[in-house]
Chain A
């Protein structure tokens, strides 16, 4: 087991929130067509409020901290908050579109010991990227920012969300990332808006394109293994918990609301009214999330993919039941392996699990 895995296990056992994602603002200078946020400012936390939250997070044992948004550099106190966080020795990751990052900003981020900067690039073609962000010239500015960040020695990751508007451009973005010395990560998940609107879902790439993404050797190092039929879920899988949301990780909005994850809008408390640790330790909603084991999941517990599915409890919650399936992940499991899940064809998908139970009895 790696030291990082050991740290996760220890944090889980001790109830420590190892990772926190803090959105500093929902305001943004881009208007991405798939974005889930409401960009109006409804009363962001002040500098002093965020400083206090950061102090509380350090005391709670948070190690990995992500500043995101919205566009974080739209906050005038952004570098002050970065410095405040780094003085509390967080491992700090910044998510930004980079259009406000030049040489001075990149140098400052490096001086402050930021671990990594993640920027969204949707296409290597300006006409495609800029049409998604609705900001003319944005690809050029983001690429310039990456060059500045790399020239100061910062680790940079390019995040490539795939949707109908750019689904054929991932190879071009990979080549761009290689050219810039950046890491690359791809995500084919478009989520509902934070207000529950499902309008962005029309941008999700269709199943047959997802099928091709999972078989692209540039994206998947071992396609055979990745796309193999899932092994029958065993007892460890059934007794396991679905993901780290609410267990060792959580999300805080610019208004102080605490959720299990940025994609899991279950209200659990607000740091403007309560101490963070009171919410983390005593929220009934977090207790409910933590109590869920794979065996408790409706449909998913009898699915052949139970042990390998990327099921997102937050997306399931947004579909109406945090113990239910998240259909986007059912689709991913199907396209990855060719085997329908229990949510799609209950009879077929349940067979491997039933077989395991029969074998166990024999």
Chain B
């Protein structure tokens, strides 16, 4: 099975408020708040780091969660955000300044 790469969309607004990441999709004005793990995945979504590496090196290292559980939850999280255009998903690294904004 190939790798999954994720990148933050430029069509969003986001701000860390009181320890929670608030995100609004410009595409459909859907509003999300991300918990600590969701925020970590979102901040790590640079388009270059495979999701598996984000899960192994960031989530499993910092949180008490099994690799299988973390991979499953991360996959569902990425699916949900990508449906609202908040994350871009590809089986290839995602480049280009137009699609990736700096981490807030």
Asked whether B33 is an interface residue with its Cβ less than 8 Å from the other chain, the reply is yes
Contact with A along B29-44 (1 / 0, CB 8 A): 1011100000000000
Q: In this complex, what residue of B is CB-closest to A90?
A: B13
**Cβ–Cβ contact B17 & A91, under 8 A:** no
**Cβ–Cβ contact A10 & B18, under 8 A:** yes
A89 CB to nearest B CB, Å = 5
Q: How many residues of B contact A (CB 8 A)?
A: 21
* Residues in chain A near residue B14, CB distance under 8 A: 89
* Residues in chain B near residue A18, CB distance under 8 A: 17
Cross-chain contact of A115 among B15, B26, B33 (Cβ < 8 A) = B26
* Residues in chain A near residue B12, CB distance under 8 A: 89, 113
* Residues in chain B near residue A7, CB distance under 8 A: 17, 22, 31, 33
A116 CB to nearest B CB, Å = 9
How far apart are the CA atoms of A246 and B102 in the complex, in Å? 30
Q: How many residues of A contact B (CB 8 A)?
A: 27
- Describe A's contact surface by its main secondary structure: mixed
Known: A3-B31, A3-B32. A89 touches B17 (CB 8 A): no
* Residues in chain B near residue A88, CB distance under 8 A: 104
Asked whether B11 is an interface residue with its Cβ less than 8 Å from the other chain, the reply is yes
- How many A-B contacts at CB < 8 Å in the complex? 59
Asked whether B10 is an interface residue with its Cβ less than 8 Å from the other chain, the reply is yes
Asked whether B70 is an interface residue with its Cβ less than 8 Å from the other chain, the reply is no
Asked whether A84 is an interface residue with its Cβ less than 8 Å from the other chain, the reply is no
How far apart are the CA atoms of A18 and B31 in the complex, in Å? 15
How far apart are the CA atoms of A58 and B32 in the complex, in Å? 18
**Cβ–Cβ contact B15 & A61, under 8 A:** yes
How far apart are the CA atoms of A89 and B103 in the complex, in Å? 9
Cross-chain contact of B102 among A10, A87, A91, A92 (Cβ < 8 A) = A87
Cross-chain contact of A113 among B15, B16, B26, B32 (Cβ < 8 A) = B26
Q: In this complex, what residue of B is CB-closest to A62?
A: B15
* Residues in chain B near residue A86, CB distance under 8 A: 10, 101
Cross-chain contact of B18 among A2, A14, A91 (Cβ < 8 A) = A14
* Residues in chain A near residue B13, CB distance under 8 A: 63, 89-92, 113, 115
**Cβ–Cβ contact A91 & B11, under 8 A:** no
How far apart are the CA atoms of A283 and B101 in the complex, in Å? 34
How far apart are the CA atoms of A155 and B101 in the complex, in Å? 22
* Residues in chain B near residue A3, CB distance under 8 A: 31-33
Contact with A along B1-20 (1 / 0, CB 8 A): 00000000011111111101
Asked whether B81 is an interface residue with its Cβ less than 8 Å from the other chain, the reply is no
Q: In this complex, what residue of A is CB-closest to B16?
A: A61
How far apart are the CA atoms of A18 and B15 in the complex, in Å? 10
* Residue picked from B15, B16, B17, B29, most chain A C-beta under 10 Å: B15
